[in-house]
Amino acid sequence: MAYLVTGAAGFIGFHTSQKLLERGEPVIGVDVVNDYYDPALKEARLALLKKYPAFTFHRADIAEREDMEKVASLHPEITRIIHLAAQAGVRYSLINPYAYTHSNIDGQLVMLELARNLKQCDHFVYASSSSVYGSNEKLPFSIEDRVDHPVSLYAATKKAGELMAHCYSHLYQIPSTGLRFFTVYGPWGRPDMAAFLFVKAILEGKPIKVFNHGDMRRDFTFVDDIVEGILAVASGQPSGMAVPAKVYNIGNHRSEPLPRFISVIEESLGLKANIIYEPMQAGDVKETFADIDPLVKDYGFYPKTSIDEGIPKFVTWYREFYKV
């Protein structure tokens, strides 16, 4: 058995690949290593993965058919796909919308075709997002809720990816599972996410921008918990259904007020934040909160890490990595 992990140089892809390698599983990693954020951080993650003999890396674009067909031809041993490569970020979708259709729609199609044509692939696990819930006001967000009113192009592309996966499961009986991630943070995290932005600004003595005047809540989920859920799902597959396609929420099942999140960062740094309050940003939502009961029931997943535990771990990594 071998796993193909796309987005292997990315935040969640790196942690997922590393955990698989620690378990002794062969991993074929794919990443285009673009400049959406500092490529040096991605290269540093890759450098750690390349220390494992069972890791093979291909610098390729998941939306380019020829690139991915070559990867598949070189690795007929692939039995499971964990597709985490995507163009992320709500606000950037207002600036560069074509990046989202390229990676999240064209890329999803290429990867589904890859799964269809691989002889041994028995599960296609892919990243979706809590953003699909849009302006849904019912809490917690449930996989039974309608998600046909996205408030950002990013959300629309992730919902499209779910529909495409369902279609391929229906047509070709490819077992597929989508995971709607809720605000993932932790060591090696993305520089465009709140934890990274806030820690960096506070250490540099710069103000932090807090939107909707601080009246926001997020289901902040520590990366180790996310990876545990991904691997639990990837080890199984949907069963007992006419169409072997499922979608789950994967979050911390706790909606934290943004001011409390900031206060935990301040405590971990031993510094106070200079806060500039701003109105709500286009495409953003006030609150997220994951109903994870289906994932608990089907896979025994339950998150273990509160922000009081997770934020200090992120701060420790940040200080060590950036030597500050």
CA 308 – CA 87 distance, rounded (Å): 29
CA distances from 158 to 130, 138, 152 (A): 9, 20, 10
Q: Does 168 qualify as catalytic in the annotation?
A: no
DSSP 11-58: HHHHHHHHHHHHTT--EEEEE---SSS-HHHHHHHHHHHTTSTTEEEE
The Cα diameter of the chain in Å comes to 57
Handedness of CA 124, 130, 136, 137 (dihedral sign): positive
135 phi, psi to nearest 5 deg: -95, 25
Which H or E run contains 123? strand 123-129
Catalytic residue among 92, 126, 154, 185: 154
DSSP 8-state class, residue 241: S
- In the chain, which ranges are continuous DSSP H helix? 11-22, 39-49, 65-74, 97-100, 107-117, 153-172, 194-203, 223-234, 258-269, 293-299, 307-322
Q: How many CB atoms lie within 10 A of CB 52?
A: 17
Whether the link from the prior residue into 140 is cis, omega within 30° of 0, is yes
Active site members: 154
